Amino acid sequence: MTAIILKDVDKSWGSFQALNGINFQCEEGKLLVLLGPSGCGKSTTLRLIAGLETPTSGTIEIGGKDVSYLPPVKRNISMVFQNYALFPHLSVAENILFGLKARKVALPERKKRLENAADLLGLSDFLDRKPAQLSGGQRQRVALGRSIVAQVSVCLMDEPLSNLDAKLRQEMRQEIRSLQQRLKMTMVYVTHDQVEAMTIADKIILMKDGLIEQHGTPEALYNRPETAFTGNFIGNPPMNILTPDTLLMEAFSAILPDRIRPESHQIGVRPENIRISENRGIKAQIETIEYLGADTLILCRFGQQNITLTVKGKTRLLVGDHLRLDWKQDHIHLFDTSNGKRLGNLEKDELS
C-alpha cells in the first residue's frame, strides 16, 4: 500500500521557487531518503509532508487521505528534528511523553509506551535526566523515543544525524534502520550525505534546485545515474565526468562510437572502474596520491582534464609517474551535455 503521495507539489516564497512540480510515492513500511545538496528543497519537501508548511499548489496524501492543508497534528505523523528539539527543562521521560500528554493519552498507556520505548532505545537508566546531561547520541535516542511512543504510521526525519561525530553517526544510522524495519515504520529521511542515504534507504530521491533528479533504489542511482549530476553526487569519490576530446577518442576508439562530440557529450566513469593498464587506454600523469588505508586515491591529468581513480591498498606509484588508464565499455556512462541527461550505457546494440 502507498503511504505517502505527492502530486504536482509546488512551493514558492514570493518569486523564489523552492519546489517545482514534485511527484513521488512512498510505499508503506519503506525508508525513503530525500537526498541533495543544501538548498535543493529536500527539507522543504519534508516540512510540507509534516504540515509545517503548506504547498503553493498540488496535493499531499498520507495513508490515502488528502492532508495538503491539515495541521501537523491531524496528519498522523511524527518528526525528528536536526537539533533534536528536546525541551531543555523537561526530563527524558517528560520529553518522550510530551505529545501523549498533549493528546491526553491515559496514564497507564503512557507508562507502557514509555517503558517500551526506553527499553528499545536503551534509555531506561536516563529517564530522570535533563537533555543537557546526555551525550549527543542519547539525545538523538530521546528524539527517536518521542517518535516511537506516538505510534503513528509515518516518521519524518530532518537530517537527524548531522550533529553527531562520524563514528556515532554510523552506529545511529544502523540503529535507525533496524528500528524502522522492526517497527515497520514508513520513514522519510532527509540528508545531504550520500553514504548515509545509500546505506539505509529502500529508495532514494535525489533532488537539485527544487526538482527531482532521480527516484530509485540505491543500486539504480549508482549503476544507472539518469543525469551527470546524479553520477557525480552518488559514489565516493565522485564519478569522473569527462569531455570526449581527441585524446580520449583516440585512446578509446574501439569502444566509443564516432558520433560522440566533445561539444555535445560527456562521459562518466567511476574511479573504482578505472584500471591501470600496461599497453591500453589513455596516457596520463599522476598529480596527487591520497592514501586512505583500504584504498588509495590517485588524481591524474591528461591533456586539459583531470581524472581520479582508486586502487586497492597502497600503491608503489609516485607523483609525476606516467601511466595508462583503461576501462571497460559497460562502465562508460554517456550524458548529453545540453541537459545532463543519460544517453545509455553504451551497450553493444546502442553502438550501431
Partner 1 sequence: MRPKFYQRYWNHVNGWLLVLPAVFMISLFTHFPIGSSLFHSLFSTGTATRPAEFIGLGNYIYLLEDEIFWKVLFNNLVYSFCTVPLSIGMALGMALLINLNIKGRSLIRMSFFTPTVLPMIAVANIWLFFYTPEYGLFDQVFAFFGGDSHNWLGNPDTTLYCLILMVIWKESGFFMIFYLAAMQQLSPELKEAGVVEGAGSWYYFRRVTFPLLMPTTLFITINAVVNSFKLVDHLVIMTKGGPDNASSLLLYYIYENAFSFWDANYAATLTAVLVFILAVITIIQFTIVEKRIHYQ
Size of the site for partner 1 (CB under 8 A): 24
Residue placing its CB nearer to partner 1 in the complex, 20 or 163: 163
- Nearer to partner 1 by C-beta: 150 or 161? 150
Shortest distance, CB of residue 79 to partner 1, whole angstroms?
5
- Kindly tell me which of 32 and 142 has the beta carbon lying closer to partner 1: 142
The answer to whether residue 113 forms part of the interface with partner 1 (CB under 8 A) is no
Least distance (Å) from partner 1 to the CB of residue 77?
A: 7
Shortest approach of partner 1 to residue 56 CB, angstroms?
Answer: 18
Residue with smaller CB distance to partner 1, 78 or 180 = 78
Cα separation, 82 vs 345, whole angstroms? 38
Dig out the grid coordinates for 298 from the structure. 590517485
Which CB sits closer to partner 1, 53 or 115?
53
State the minimum distance, in angstroms, from the CB of residue 83 to partner 1. 6
The CA distance from 188 to 208, in Å, is 17
Shortest Cβ distance from residue 163 to partner 1 (Å)? 12
The Cβ of residue 240 has, within 10 Å, a number of other Cβ atoms equal to: 24
For the segment 147-166, give every residue that binds partner 1 (CB under 8 A).
Answer: 150
Site map for partner 1, 298-317, x if CB under 8 A? --------------------
The answer to whether residue 29 forms part of the interface with partner 1 (CB under 8 A) is: no
Residue 116 exposed, middle or buried by CB count within 10 Å (0-12, 13-18, 19+): middle
Nearer to partner 1, 154 or 325 (CB): 154
Applying CB under 8 A, among 146, 169, 173, 333 the residue interacting with partner 1 is 146
Contact pattern from residue 65 through residue 104 relative to partner 1, giving x for each residue in contact according to CB under 8 A and a dash for the rest:
------xxx---xxx-xxx-x-xxxx-------xx--xx-
CB atoms within 10 A of CB 119: 10
CB of 143 to partner 1, least distance (A): 9
34 vs 334, beta carbon nearer partner 1: 34
Which residue lies nearer to partner 1 by CB, 71 or 122?
71
99 vs 136 by CB, closer to partner 1: 99
**Contact stretch for partner 1 (CB under 8 A) within 45-53, 197-205, 263-271, 302-310:** 45-53
Smallest distance from partner 1 to CB 15, Å: 20
Binding stretches for partner 1 (CB under 8 A): 50-52, 71-73, 77-79, 81-83, 85, 87-90, 98-99, 102-103, 130, 146, 150
